[in-house]
Amino acid sequence: MSQLAPAHPPVPSGQEPPAAVRRGVCAIIPARGGSKGVPRKNLRELGGEPLVGRAVRTLREVGGIDAVIVSTDDEEIADAGRGYGALVIERPRHLAGDSASSESALRHALDELGSYGSVPDVTVFVQATSPFITPADVDRAIALVRTGECDVAFSVARSHAHLWRDGPDGPVGVNHDTTTRARRQDREAEFVETGAFYVLRTRGFLEHGHRFFGRVRMVEVDAADALEIDTPDDLRLAELVLAHREAHRPTPLRARAVVTDFDGVHTSDRVTVDEFGVESVTVNRSDGMGVSMLRKAGIAMLILSSETNGVVAARAAKLGVDVIHGCDDKPTALRAWAAENGIALSDIAYLGNDVNDIGCLRLVGWPVAVADAHPAALHAAHIVLRRHGGDGVVRELADRVLAGTTSHESSTREGRNHG
């Protein structure tokens, strides 16, 4: 691994890949100095941060990543990457031209890591020009590859667009029948590759030489997070989006406890049934991480469900949280649990999705609904999250609660310091 600034030795102290990279997860950001659409694109600022620095900061917030590396031919980009805590690999000029592929930059970076015996099991390839990547989305993709569900996981955004191309006799419909204009809700959704991130099993990538191989899974991200900066207009749009988000930043939840329904919250509300009538559901690993973070922060948690299936208790036991299931009177059960644990109802965030959650939503200080909740539940909630049930919505709520806990502790310390 080499550093670009000549004042540095070839491998400065602290720049060697951490030992955890070996058989771990490494994120690589290819960021060359040259660009045509937007000159010096990777250094252009958004919200006061260079795009490459913003990407490094985001990836360092992903719990599943052991090291973040910037591969570049440019000294200024290298300095920016180091400033945000990334390791830097000097990319040869012949791999940084207009015709050089991202795959060639990835392979070179992995070869450099290999010289230290630090080739990771999983490689996260990220574009700095996708500025609204979220740590939770990257975490979901990493979990799919690390658990063996797939070899490649990449970001996509849902689309119902009608695509056309020029034909010899005029425009031709690509993904639709031009003689029938189907309603949006009657068309099967398609997905657009965002180009933001790709999580790859490293050995497979090195064997095949390209980013799609073996078992491939899509990771759907919010279309609002899928903006890619290729032109000056894209950059101006990103500035507007960021300004809007800063002005409407979600209010942290200062809750002492989190109570959730199970079906439609921890799951997508779908169930599979085998020939023996045995039911099974799918849960999201990022939700498990969110619950673990809440527990470490001392936030009490309860899963409160009317479902009688033993899977509810099994999942609660796995997460290490309280559970009440097979419950017909959820408000009464919630009151009793809160009293037993000495928690005021006003300090509880309740996350639900359907009409049987309305009573609890009306009891607590922080009534929260998933994005795809029943209209009546949406009406009863004061806060509607961005994610759907089973799609990391518990993690989203956990992040909001933890942000509230942090901000409360900071304000308390400031008050004591000025007292």
Residue 155 to residue 217: CA distance in whole angstroms? 9
pLDDT at 410: 43
Catalogue the E-assigned strands of 175-316.
190-201, 216-220, 257-260, 272-273, 279-280, 300-304
Q: How far is CA 405 from CA 8, 45, 248, 294, 348, in A?
A: 42, 30, 19, 10, 13
Q: For the chain, give me the number of helices (H) and strands (E)?
A: 12, 19
Neighbours of 238 (CB within 10 A): 21
pLDDT of residue 10: 29
E strand map for 189-256:
190-201, 216-220
Cβ-based neighbour number of residue 317 at 10 Å: 10
In a structure prediction context, what are the per-residue pLDDT tens digits for the chain, which is 419 residues long? Answer: 444 332 222 233 345 666 667 679 999 999 998 877 788 999 998 887 899 999 999 999 888 899 999 999 999 999 999 988 899 999 988 888 887 888 999 999 999 998 878 899 999 999 999 999 999 899 999 999 999 999 999 999 999 888 999 999 999 999 888 888 888 778 888 999 999 999 999 999 999 999 999 999 999 998 889 999 999 999 999 999 888 877 666 667 889 999 999 999 999 988 888 788 787 888 888 899 999 999 999 999 999 999 888 899 999 999 999 999 999 999 999 999 999 999 999 999 999 999 999 999 999 999 999 988 998 898 888 888 888 999 899 999 999 999 887 544 444 444 434 34
* CATH numbers and ranges of domains, the chain: 19-247 (3.90.550.10), 257-414 (3.40.50.1000)
pLDDT computed for residue 308 by the predictor? 85
| Cβ–Cβ under 8 Å, residues 51 and 4 | no
pTM, two decimals, is: 0.60
What's the token pair of residue 116?
Answer: 């230290």
Q: Is the dihedral of CA 19, 23, 27, 32 positive or negative?
A: positive
Does residue 176 contact residue 182 with C-beta atoms inside 8 Å? Answer: yes
Q: Are the CB atoms for 139 and 63 separated by under 8 Å? A: yes
- Tokens 């009317």 found at: 306
> CA–CA separation, 68 vs 404, rounded Å?
28
